Chain A
Amino acid sequence: MEAEVLFYIYSFPVSKPLLFTWIIMAVVSLASFLLTRNMQKVPRGAQHFVELLVDGIEKLVLTNMGPEGKKFVPLILMIAVYVGFSNLIGIIPGAYSPTENLTTTFTLALIVFLVGHYTAIRKKGFLPWIKGFVEPYFILLPLNIAGELSQIVSHSFRLYGNIFAGGVLLSIVYMIAPYVIPAVLLGWFGIFSGIIQTAVFTLLSVVYISMKIN
């Protein structure tokens, strides 16, 4: 399932997911710059919305990980904003969700996996971390390793499967009934399902990291 290459920049292939990731990065950077330029003690307008988002993520992380989770807030916020924008950009005609590609979601799941294990090694030390794999019995070692690796697969395939299946179903409906009905389904798959999947992906990232460090 290779992503189609749109054009080359000096023999560097730019595929569809990469291009739309850049667009999302530009939009988010510009929005962050414009929104933080003129911050006030008493928020007005768009500052309300952004403070709500940051506060919500911070509360989610702190209730799941305790006070030591403070340093994970930027990472989780990045995942939430990126996945949310990626899911919602799909409702624009002609645009392409980067999360519709397995590489994107797999990379995000891999980042969460590596951060969790790196923090666990830093916190517990190397040998106790290794010892965690042979509990409760040594014979369960392969099962424990398989369980850890299947976490990446289920985490990434959940988001990819939902977004991709929504896209496939929509394109089939476009072929059968091109008017009115796709608009309703676009609201369902694009907006509702996109926001729910963003919440689930973010929540699972927090829980997977907190499971490894505790």
Chain B
Amino acid sequence: MLEIAIIVAGVIIGCGIALISGGLVGIGEGYAAGKAVEAMARQPEMEGSIRTTMLLGQAVSESGAIYSLAVTLLLIFTVVLPLVDRLLELL
């Protein structure tokens, strides 16, 4: 029973660490948005293409956070929840 509890704790801590990438991606995307605003202020007539390029760059750089989110969700739904169920049965 203690082993299962340790596994669950370890996996949950790992999920938390994986989600740090969300904050880092937030920094990067905010930087991209700020630069896009600068460019729009300088050249307001290019607004449409600047917005498209900004969204595209942000979407691509978001991939890291998306992968970590996917890993976290998979870990929680395939590893943690069954183990927690077994833990509750043992209790």
Interface residues of A (CB under 8 A from B): 1, 60, 153-154, 157-158, 161, 164-165, 199-200, 203-204, 207
Contacts and interface: CB of A to CB of B under 8 A. Distances in A.
A203 B69 contact: no
Interface string B2-19: 000000000000000000
A153 B74 CA distance: 14
Contacts of A153: 67, 70
Contacts of A161: 66, 69-70, 73
B53 to A, nearest CB: 10
Interface string B47-69: 00000100110010011001101
Given A161-B69, A204-B56, A207-B56, 15 more contacts: A1-B77, A154-B63, A154-B66, A157-B66, A158-B59, A158-B63, A158-B66, A161-B73, A164-B73, A199-B55, A200-B55, A200-B59, A203-B55, A203-B56, A204-B59
Contact of B70 (A157, A199, A200, A203): A157
29 contacts: A1-B77, A60-B52, A153-B70, A154-B63, A154-B66, A154-B67, A157-B66, A157-B67, A157-B69, A157-B70, A158-B59, A158-B63, A158-B66, A161-B66, A161-B69, A161-B70, A161-B73, A164-B73, A165-B69, A199-B55, A200-B55, A200-B59, A203-B52, A203-B55, A203-B56, A203-B59, A204-B56, A204-B59, A207-B56
Contacts of B77: 1
A161 B62 CA distance: 11
Contacts of B59: 158, 200, 203-204
Contacts of A164: 73
A135 B77 CA distance: 39
Interface residues of B, number: 12
A211 to B, nearest CB: 11
Nearest to A160: B70
Contacts of A158: 59, 62-63, 66
Nearest to B65: A161
Contacts of B63: 154, 158
A157 B66 CA distance: 6
A144 B77 CA distance: 31
B91 to A, nearest CB: 23
